[in-house]
Amino acid sequence: MDQPQAISVFALGKVTPEDASALAARFPKLELLAVDLPADADLSAQQAQLRAVVNSASQDWILIMRGGESAASDLADEMAAALAPPARAWGFRLRVVPTSGGAPLLLPVAHGGEIRLFHRRHVRFDVRNQTGEMNVEGAVVRLGAPLRMEAFASEDEHREWLSAHAVPQSLLRKILLFTKNAIVSGALWRSRATLRYLWIEAGWDRTAPGIPRRD
């Protein structure tokens, strides 16, 4: 089976060649392009800018990555198989799995499940429509392997970040908040990494909850 050789990666925020190294191993002609949008930009509200940058790409297949995300070998392999002629579809949705210290977390991430991989000649951007996704010819397929989004490299980095961006909470409130979030996330008995992450988070009050993205 012929494998696709080329892909353009659009970087929203800080995406390094290392973050896309597994893709480079699968796609020898890989182009990494910085897009003048923040890592947490709402793609549905950026139709005009996306259309402009898509037209500047040198490759037909395009992957959008946000700051802090990386593509591992499982995703690179699945992408190569899905894009091999005849391609399974012209557009693909990708999950995003957050990690801390390399361990996956059972927590939601903003903008997960978006159309991130597509063929530029088979999509349309309606610049008048600020509320919808790009229009893809035919069905849109969801890939199984996810992008990975590292929240923090270590627990110490996590605490340092919170000390600079949040306000400490009382021990009682920390215990109550941790208990609630541990139950809601489903992490009890399932993910020690998630429980450790939630315990650290529960000790701080910040105005922007959720997992931070690198710009």
Q: What is the pLDDT of residues 112-126, one digit of tens each?
A: 899 999 999 999 988
Domain boundaries of the chain, sorted by first residue:
6-151, 153-205
Nearest to 150 by CA among 105, 108, 110: 105
Decide if pLDDT at 135 tops 90.
yes
Cis? peptide before 86, omega within 30° of 0: yes
Q: Which residues contact 124 (CB under 8 A, 6 or more apart)?
A: 134, 135
Residue 5 has a pLDDT of: 83
Backbone phi and psi for residue 116, each to the nearest 5 degrees, phi listed first: -115, -20
Helix (H, G, I), strand (E, B) or coil at 37: coil
Decide if pLDDT at 111 tops 90.
no
Q: How confident is the model at residue 215 (pLDDT cuts 50, 70, 90)?
A: low
Decide if pLDDT at 208 tops 80.
no
Mean local confidence (pLDDT), 48-59: 90
Residue 1 has a pLDDT of: 47
Nearest to 116 by CA among 86, 87, 147, 138: 147
Residue 175 has a pLDDT of: 97
Q: What is the dihedral of CA 199, 201, 202, 207, to 10 degrees?
A: -170
More confident residue, 162 or 209: 162
- Please identify which residue in the block is written with the tokens 């541990």: 182
Which pTM value belongs to this model?
Answer: 0.90
Decide if pLDDT at 70 tops 90.
yes
Q: How confident is the model at residue 130 (pLDDT cuts 50, 70, 90)?
A: low
Angle at 59 between CA 54 and CA 61, to 5 degrees: 80
Mean local confidence (pLDDT), 166-193: 95
